[in-house]
Copies of this chain bind each other. A is one copy, B any other.
Amino acid sequence: MTQVKQQEIHLANRPKGMPSKEDFNFVESSVPTPKEHEILVRTLYLSVDPYMRGRMQDAKSYIAPFELNKVIAGGVVAEVVVSRSDAFKQGDVVVGNLSWAEYTVASEREIRKVDPKMAPVSTHLGILGMPGLTAYFGLLDIGKPQEGETVVVSGAAGAVGSAVGQIAKIKGAKVVGIAGSDEKIDYLLNELGFDAAVNYKKDSFQADLKNALPDGVDVYFDNVGGDVSDAVFKHLNRNARVPLCGAISSYNAEGKDSGPRIQSTMIKTSSLMKGFTLGDYAADFSVGATDLGKWLQQGKLKYEETIVEGFENTPEAFLGLFKGTNLGKQLVKVANPEYAKL
């Protein structure tokens, strides 16, 4: 039997500062053969996410670092090619945290079947997947927006941020988004119905933000950290809540990430700040997924995807996250389905 060849992507270096294409290595390997209770899947879409930058460093965190010269892993939607499990059959569409490879063997526990009739399968990497659930739990469990309150979200046009703003609107809050291009501001205001949106790259950012916040900030969902967050902190109301989801502005910082200390502001306002990762809410995933699916079907949640075509363009798609080239969820389309009916 001929060994069929495929490509997979390895971590070539632990980058200092901004990563580059040279930090990724395309390696040819044989398509693996599933053992009993295993499933061979073919990647249809893969997800590139800001949090993966942290896994490229060899540092203690909530998730283990990627290993040097080993395959990188992330969110993947795939179709089943060969199943040696009773739980899956050829043509099933599955989602899981799997290798950046054209083909992968997964164990039964690593993947979960999704219904292609419910929504486009790519949504399981976005609005119905990790970013959507991250928005859902961070906003509702930590932010706890009340009707009429003001919710600010940074990285507002990204996969998490756009979901945060819309869920806050569903809960009756006034929503102000912060993003980095006129196109994104237009999207937030005219597609997603945000009450205000501010471009942090403009010289007038501080004044624009102040104008957008006549009633201050009750909830600040922070995806970016850095100067943008420093600006928002000036407007915290009494008993404000700050879910800390990401700090993309610092992920590629080589020196120290320094800025004004926020403790005095938090004391004066009795504000709360809490870091979280989606894993904190593993026990409640089904509750979140049910709500998100319902809102999506009711048309209350919209989403945007920026799709790069071709497995070979995965590093470029990942690097684009730090330049803010994506609107909504950044995906890579790796293959058209051969067995699945989408």
Instruction: Identify the A interface with B (CB < 8 A).
Output: 54, 60-62, 222, 225-226, 229, 238, 244-247, 250, 256-277, 280
Contacts and interface: CB of A to CB of B under 8 A. Distances in A.
A340 B54 CA distance: 66
A259 B257 contact: no
Does more than half of chain A's interface fall in helix, strand or loop, or is it mixed? mixed
B261 A225 contact: yes
Given A247-B263, A258-B260, 19 more contacts: A60-B268, A62-B269, A62-B270, A225-B263, A229-B263, A244-B263, A247-B264, A250-B263, A250-B264, A256-B260, A257-B260, A258-B258, A258-B259, A267-B277, A270-B275, A270-B280, A271-B275, A272-B272, A272-B273
B277 A274 contact: no
Number of identical protomers = 2
A238 B62 contact: yes
Contacts of A267: 62, 244-247, 275-277
B280 A275 contact: no
A269 B260 CA distance: 21
A61 to B, nearest CB: 5
A257 B261 contact: yes
Contacts of A263: 222, 225, 229, 244, 247, 250, 273, 275
Contacts of A257: 260-261, 264
A54 B260 CA distance: 18
A261 B274 contact: no
Nearest to A63: B268
Nearest to A229: B263
A268 B62 contact: yes
Contacts of A273: 263, 266, 272-274
A238 B271 CA distance: 20
A61 B238 CA distance: 10
A283 to B, nearest CB: 14
A276 B61 CA distance: 28
Contacts of A226: 261
Contacts of A265: 275
Given A258-B258, A261-B259, A270 B266 contact: no
A275 B272 CA distance: 6
A247 to B, nearest CB: 5
A66 to B, nearest CB: 16
A54 B265 CA distance: 12
A265 to B, nearest CB: 8
Contacts of A271: 274-275
A266 B274 contact: yes
Contacts of A264: 225, 247, 250, 257
Q: Which 6 A-B pairs have the closest CB atoms?
A: A266-B275, A267-B275, A272-B274, A225-B263, A61-B268, A273-B273
8 contacts: A62-B238, A62-B267, A247-B264, A257-B264, A258-B258, A259-B259, A266-B274, A267-B275
A267 B250 CA distance: 12
A244 B264 CA distance: 8
Nearest to A245: B267
Contacts of A256: 260
